[in-house]
């Protein structure tokens, strides 16, 4: 992908593999504790708490990698484009809001969610993997803005990383998520 070096992608996939491995370890441990009826103490509670971090780190990266690899151009006739216009007034206003969300100081994720209850599209800042996700919302487009996602190629220039991200969005995948 243009704007993403092999080194950056390899490092990012290695980090993702850690989330997968830890998720599987925690699920197996929790199952064993449940089977042994050991669910009332910290030996169960602490891995249960940690599961949210590892699982969400795994899943967010899967969404992130999944919505990359495209040409960055959205089909202006697709339902997603029309929904963006209806919710933000224009595609440019949505893009401005999504990018501004991604440029906020700190580590985290910029995520376009759809509220399942009313269908509204909303851009959210997610600080940590396991906190801040809006209840009842479905993630459609995920941009990783943790330092590991851009610093190897862009140093502190998050703005150029975001431009590269947008040039590689696979809008067909995002549209499929809307339709699910």
Query: Is 129 assigned to a binding site?
Result: no
Query: Is 12 assigned to a binding site?
Result: yes
pLDDT band (50, 70, 90) for residue 129: confident
Nearest to 137 by CA among 121, 150, 125: 121
Query: Is 133 assigned to a binding site?
Result: no
Residue with tokens 């599961």: 51
Residue with tokens 């209850």: 117
**What is 1-180's CATH topology?**
minor pseudopilin epsh fold (3.55.40)
Domain ranges of the chain: 1-180
Q: Which two tokens stand for residue 133?
A: 């996700």
Phi/psi for 112 (5° steps) reads -90, 115
**Per-residue pLDDT at 39 exceeds 90:** yes
Percent of the chain with pLDDT over 70: 100
Q: What is the dihedral of CA 68, 23, 145, 96, to 10 degrees?
A: 60
Distance CA 105, CA 82 (A): 30
**For residues 128 and 111, which has the higher predicted lDDT (pLDDT)?**
111
What's the mean pLDDT when you consider all of the chain? 96
- Residues 93-110: tens digit of each pLDDT: 999 999 999 999 999 999
- Residues 133-174: tens digit of each pLDDT: 999 999 999 999 999 999 999 999 999 999 999 999 999 999
Query: Is 2 assigned to a binding site?
Result: no
- Between the alpha carbon of residue 155 and those of residues 6, 9, 65, 121, 151, the distances in Å are 16, 15, 21, 31, 4
**Per-residue pLDDT at 179 exceeds 90:** yes
- H helices of the chain, in order, are 6-35, 42-66, 79-88, 91-103, 151-154, 158-167, 171-179
Residues 175, 11: contact at Cβ < 8 Å? Answer: no
- According to the model, what pLDDT value does residue 121 have? 98
**For residues 129 and 57, which has the higher predicted lDDT (pLDDT)?**
57
């Amino acid at each position: 992908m243009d704007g993403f070096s092999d080194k950056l992608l390899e490092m990012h996939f290695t980090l993702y593999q850690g989330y997968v491995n830890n998720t599987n370890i925690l699920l197996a441990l929790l199952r064993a504790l449940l089977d042994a009826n050991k669910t009332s103490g910290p030996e169960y509670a602490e891995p249960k708490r940690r599961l949210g971090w590892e699982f969400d780190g795994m899943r967010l990266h899967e969404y992130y990698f999944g919505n990359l690899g495209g040409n960055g151009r959205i089909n202006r006739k697709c339902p997603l484009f029309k929904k963006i216009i209806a919710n933000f007034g224009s595609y440019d206003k949505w893009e401005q809001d999504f990018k501004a969300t991604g440029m906020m100081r700190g580590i985290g994720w910029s995520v376009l969610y759809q509220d399942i209850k009313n269908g509204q599209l909303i851009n959210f800042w997610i600080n940590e993997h396991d906190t801040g996700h809006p209840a009842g919302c479905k993630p459609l487009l995920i941009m990783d803005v943790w330092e590991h996602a851009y610093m190897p190629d862009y140093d502190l220039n998050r703005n150029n990383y975001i431009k590269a991200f947008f040039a590689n969005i696979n809008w067909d995948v995002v549209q499929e998520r809307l339709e699910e």
